[in-house]
């Protein structure tokens, strides 16, 4: 049985830390490796420069990947503060024709379309997290790829941050 890997990122004012972990045979959490980098773009717990912060996160991820040999694909991120907001949102796109077979490109287009959500002044989308999908009114679908449909909808958790 393949080991389940979990990746967590802690974004702080002085450093960004990325941890790769799993569970041992008794189910206890174990840390397989850690990468860290200087936190550039974060001041007093607030992300002031998203591009610089993204570069710092990438450096920490690259370090932990080199140390452990694991390739980071998904992460859990911890960011605290009143400058972070979660928005529950439902979006949809119309597909080419009735009976269209949903492809990864359709799913990605729906996710990308959520970045056009109108936000409060000074807010920017940090991440769009798909929760579930709906195909032609049938819901609670985890992966719609390969299904026929004319309308693809999704429930999303949209994480925003104050950039001012």
Q: What phi-psi label fits residue 133: left (phi over 0), alpha (psi between -120 and 50 degrees) or beta?
A: beta
Residue where a domain stops, chosen among 78, 96, 125: 78
Residues 27 and 73 placed together within one structural domain of the fold: yes
Looking at the structure of the chain, the number of domains it has is 2
Parent domain of 92? 84-162
Residues 47 and 100 placed together within one structural domain of the fold: no
State the CATH number of the domain containing residue 40: 3.30.420.40
Q: Residue 142: which residues within 8 A CB-CB, separation 6 or more?
A: 132, 133
Residues 72 and 100 placed together within one structural domain of the fold: no
Using the Cα atoms of residue 159, residue 50, residue 111 and residue 120 in order, give the sign of their dihedral: positive
- The verdict on pTM exceeding 0.75 is no
Divide the 164 residues of the chain into consecutive groups of 10 and give the mean pLDDT of each group: 80 91 87 94 82 91 93 76 83 92 97 94 88 94 95 93 75
Residue where a domain stops, chosen among 78, 113, 136: 78
Q: How many CB atoms lie within 10 A of CB 109?
A: 13
């Amino acid at each position: 049985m393949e080991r389940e890997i979990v990746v967590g990122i802690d974004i702080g004012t002085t450093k960004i830390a990325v941890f790769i972990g799993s569970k041992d045979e008794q189910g206890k959490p174990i840390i397989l490796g850690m990468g860290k980098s200087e936190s550039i773009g974060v001041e007093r717990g607030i992300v002031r420069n998203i591009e610089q912060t993204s570069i710092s996160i990438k450096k920490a991820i690259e370090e932990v990947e080199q140390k452990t040999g694991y390739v980071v694909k998904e992460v859990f991120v911890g960011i605290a503060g009143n400058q972070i907001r979660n928005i529950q949102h439902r979006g949809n796109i119309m597909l080419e024709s009735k009976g269209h077979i949903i492809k990864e490109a359709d799913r990605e287009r729906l996710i990308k379309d959520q970045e056009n959500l109108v936000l409060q002044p000074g807010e920017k989308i940090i991440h769009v997290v798909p929760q579930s999908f709906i195909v032609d009114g049938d819901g609670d679908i985890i992966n719609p790829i390969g299904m026929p449909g004319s309308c693809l909808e999704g429930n999303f958790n949209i994480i925003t941050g104050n950039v001012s």
